[in-house]
Amino acid sequence: MNTKSIILTAVALTLVLLTAGYIVNQPVIREVSASTANPPCPDEPRTISVTGDAGIRVAPDEVIITLGIETWNEDLNKAKSENDERVKQVLALADDFDIEPRYIQTDHISIEPRYEDWYEKQDFIGFNVRKSIVITLRDIDKFEDLITSALEGGVNRIHGIQFRTTELRKHKDEARSLAIKAAEEKAIALAGELGQEIGKPQHINESHSGWWSWYGSYWGSYWSGPMAQNVIQEVGSGSSSLDGTMAPGQITVNAKISVTFELK
């Protein structure tokens, strides 16, 4: 081997060794850099966050009934007169069922033309007159008789029936207390599984949950709320008696509490 070959071999070997040394040392540099980039904060609190849910089931003591009256006639005055007469008969039920005037009111009024071809607004056939009446009945034992009388008086839509409690505040406080207890018990159980103990609460938050339920339709427009009470949905037109088939049962008052506890 001549002198030139020996020199080239030595240079190549040196480059290989330098490259190997760089590769070996590079992870060490990265590791040191990573360990010093985000040092742990010794003052950061150790916490656990949980949610407690509770529901109190109670018997309802009032019911809100939304009734609808729809009439149709080619003559607007006749359609309106018939509707007005039916509404008067329903409003007169207030005296028969000892309902105070403030608990019965007209809620919705609409008058619109009807066409054979609705989209093209062609072939006019008459007018629709619609009114809704909202009744708050404080004696739910009279519920079935009131519905029957309303249907006989000309009501042809029942938009919604909502059973409620007049002692919401009392039951809400009780549900809230149980939800807090449930959250604490959950935190103790979870922390205990990890060999930890909870300390004082750091944050407390109450979620807004519906205590009532409702599902109704106003002339084809549907909407809904949290389903937490018993509800009767749309009833078709026609006069009929319920014949003792109504069972209000119980309603649920809910509470949901989120708590963050310190870990000792």
Alpha helices (H) along the chain: 3-37, 76-91, 93-96, 143-152, 168-193
Query: In sequence order, what are the residues at sequence separation of 6 or more whose Cβ sits closer than 8 angstroms to the Cβ of residue 68?
Result: 108, 130, 131, 132, 133, 155, 156, 157, 158, 159, 218, 219
Compute how many other C-beta atoms are within 10 angstroms of the C-beta atom of residue 160: 24
Give the pLDDT confidence score for residue 119 in this predicted structure.
74
Query: From CA 78, how far away is CA 85, in angstroms rounded?
Result: 11
Domain of 77: which CATH number?
3.30.70.2970
The answer to whether position 21 is within a domain reads no
pTM value is 0.63
Q: Is residue 34 part of a domain?
A: no
The per-residue pLDDT for 146 is 96
Q: How far from chain centre, in Å, is Cα 179? A: 18
Which domain range does residue 148 map to? 57-168+209-259
Q: Residue 31: its pLDDT value, please?
A: 41
- pLDDT tens sequence for the chain (264 residues): 555 454 445 445 444 444 445 444 444 434 433 333 455 466 778 999 999 999 999 999 999 999 999 999 999 999 999 999 999 999 999 999 999 999 999 888 999 998 887 677 678 899 999 999 999 999 999 999 999 999 999 999 999 999 999 999 999 999 999 999 999 999 999 999 999 999 999 999 998 765 444 434 455 444 444 433 333 333 334 433 344 555 677 888 999 999 999 999
- pLDDT reported for residue 44: 76
What's the pLDDT at 149?
96
Is residue 236 included in any domain, yes or no?
Answer: yes
> Which one-letter amino acid corresponds to residue 257?
I
pLDDT for 79:
96
The whole-number pLDDT of residue 117 equals 78
Quick check: 159 and 66 in contact, CB under 8 A? yes
Q: Could you tell me if residue 3 is inside a domain?
A: no
Residue 16 belongs to some domain of the structure: no
Instruction: Report how many domains make up the chain.
Output: 1
